[in-house]
Structure 1
Amino acid sequence: MFLRRKHTQKDDSEQRDAKVSELRTAIGPLSGRSSMYCTDACLRRYLEARNWNVSKAMKMLEETLKWRLTYKPEEIRWHEVAHEGETGKVSRANFHDRQGRTVLIMRPGMQNTTSAENNIRHLVYLIENAILNLSEGQEQMSWLIDFTGFSLSTSVPIRTARDIIYILQSHYPERLAIAFLYNPPRFFEPFYKAVRLFLDPKTAQKVKFVYAKNKDSVELMQSYFDVENLPSEFGGNATLKYDHEEFSRLMARDDVTTAKFWGIDEKPHQISNGH
């Protein structure tokens, strides 16, 4: 009589490592930035997003590599998108969540431009920047969305929302830990219902609505964030103050780090004033 060997986490880990190797073999030799992009951790994210199906993960990854070659997100510099950020509609927080993850703050009520292309470019820049600033061993970031001042006139068109969701889900898989939508107005609900149609079910589960008067939703958010770090706009004790000049200096410094990381040779004046 044979005893069935107990299934262990080690078995899962070994199987997943084997899938990573299989995916790496499937995509073949890479060069330049594509090679730098395709770390083992990166391949795991694509496999995770496709339920560890190697052929589906390969297709997804190949699409991303094509997109990165043409869109060149690592070459976007702050001076090119700074005008989009003047109101602080999207910014990287100066605090982390309880897991030490980078936090992006979105304030759709601060929308200041109408170009969908530039809005998306600005967001892609900040996602790349958030990834650059992830702590050691962290793969994901958290999002906080404040609806103060939000109205139908400041909301992005459904088509733009769909394009943003496509980029996030297709080219930044498994980068979202959680997204908290704080006190969205009632008229936002039909907009979200339309947008949710484009969301992958796994992503949709990470989107949480929080209402200041709903104890359970507030407690859920506070399980992710220390109230001393959390701005008052999200029910915390801190002050959310966006200083565009200060943030621009921070981004300009990070642009130097980005260029070094990707091995991009840039002239100093390109970084300092954009001319």
Structure 2
Amino acid sequence: MFRRWNNSHSHQENDSLPSESKVNELKAALGPLSERNLQYCSDACLRRYLEARSWNTEKANKMLEETLKWRSAYKPEEICWDEVAVEGETGKVYRASFHDREGRSVLILRPAMQNTASLDNNIRHLVYLIENAILNLPEGQEQMSWLIDFTGWSLGTSVPVKSAKDTINILQNHYPERLAIAFLYNPPRIFEAFWKIVKYFLDAKTFQKVKFVYPKNKDSVELMRSFFDEENLPTEFGGKANLKYDHEEFSRLMAQDDVKAANLWGFNQKAEKISHPSAKHTGAEVAPEPTVVAPPAS
């Protein structure tokens, strides 16, 4: 019995060696990094980029270098809630107060609640919330889940195809292996026309993570509920939780997270400024300190 366990244990260790070797290869390929990039490029980060490029070091290096350029220019970790709060007034995207069964952060998207016309600000708002979801991941968890509610959606409220393409590119190219699953709940038939265009921007791995759920389709409903506890799942997704987005409360929680993010990335002066805001402020039935409220899936 001991021998069998010992062989299995050795096999697991041997399996990890190629992964470790690839991580070291990628580190060498990247060369010296600035302090902030060094903080970003953790071993877990490098594994995500390698995974996204089928463990091809050259391709992963190219992808990661593009991300570092993007992060240097876009500075997603420095975006504060004050800068994007107007985009969140209707609750079109927010981080939920519950986690999925694996303890992952959950973003809820309600595309029919679009309230502004600025494509750049819409993307900036989403990037902020992706960063926030990552900030609030439990230790040992690296991915998030998305729940997309199509109540009231129409082609008139949909984002332009270019905006959808830009959003997908950012998610796929700069947040690889961060999305675990995305459930599109009860999209209207007219959405099919929009989807036929958008799906071509998705790579194969991301495409496999997008699942359509229809209330009358038992299999699709059961798949979604295998990821979420019914008691936590909002009623608009067929669950039992009667949740209501509160922009003022959500904004308060995001302001607290801005301080946490500023401290994490070393923006101490910015953290001090955020801690003592001079203007009024405003967030949702969402996001206290992360706790796994649903038991892990077996």
Please state which band the TM-score falls in when normalised by the shorter chain: over 0.9
In structure 2, what is the equivalent of residue 113 of structure 1? 116
Aligned 1:1-275 pairs, distance under 5 A: 8-267=11-270, 268-270=272-274, 272-273=277-278
Deviation at 1:86, TM superposition (A): 0.1
What is the DSSP-based 3-state SS (H/G/I as helix, E as strand, rest coil) of the residue aligned with 1:155?
coil
Structure 2 counterpart of 1:123, one-letter code? L
- The CA RMSD measured in Å over matched residues stands at 1.6
1:12 positional shift: 2.4
1:45 maps to amino acid: R
Counterpart amino acid of residue 97 in structure 1: D
Residue by residue, what CA displacement relative to the aligned partner does 1:9-36 show, whole Å, maximum 9, x if unpaired?
4332110111001101110111221010
Give the percent of matched residue pairs that are identical in Structure 1 and Structure 2: 71
Deviations 1:182-232, CA, capped at 9 Å, x for gaps: 000000012111111010100000000000000000000000000000000
Q: Which has the higher contact order (CA 8 A, sep 6+)?
A: 2
Q: State the 4+ residue runs in structure 1 displaced beyond 4 angstroms.
A: none
Kept in 2: contact 1:141–1:175 (CA 8 A): yes
2:66 alignment partner, SS class = helix
- Whether the 8 Å contact between 1:22 and 1:54 is mirrored in structure 2 is yes
Question: Is the contact between residue 109 and residue 149 of structure 2 (CA under 8 Å) also seen in structure 1?
Answer: yes
* 8 Å contact from structure 2 (residues 258, 274) kept in 1: no
Q: Return the TM-score normalized by structure 1.
A: 0.96
Q: Answer whether contact 1:101 1:142 (CA < 8 A) is retained.
A: yes
| Structure 1 unpaired stretches of 5+ | none
The alignment partner of 1:224 has SS state of: coil
Paired with 1:260 and 1:274, the residues of 2 have a C-alpha distance of 21
**Stretch deviating more after TM superposition (82-91 or 190-199):** 190-199
Separation in structure 2 between the aligned mates of residue 274 and residue 243 of structure 1, nearest angstrom: 19
Structure 2 gap segments, 5+ residues each: 1-6, 281-298
Q: Which moved further from structure 2: 263-272 or 36-45?
A: 263-272
Letter aligned with residue 61 of structure 2: M
Q: Secondary structure at the match of 1:179?
A: strand
Equivalenced residues, count: 271
Q: Give the SS at the match of 1:30.
A: coil
Q: CA deviation at 1:270?
A: 4.6
Q: Distance in 2 between matches of 1:144 and 1:194?
A: 21
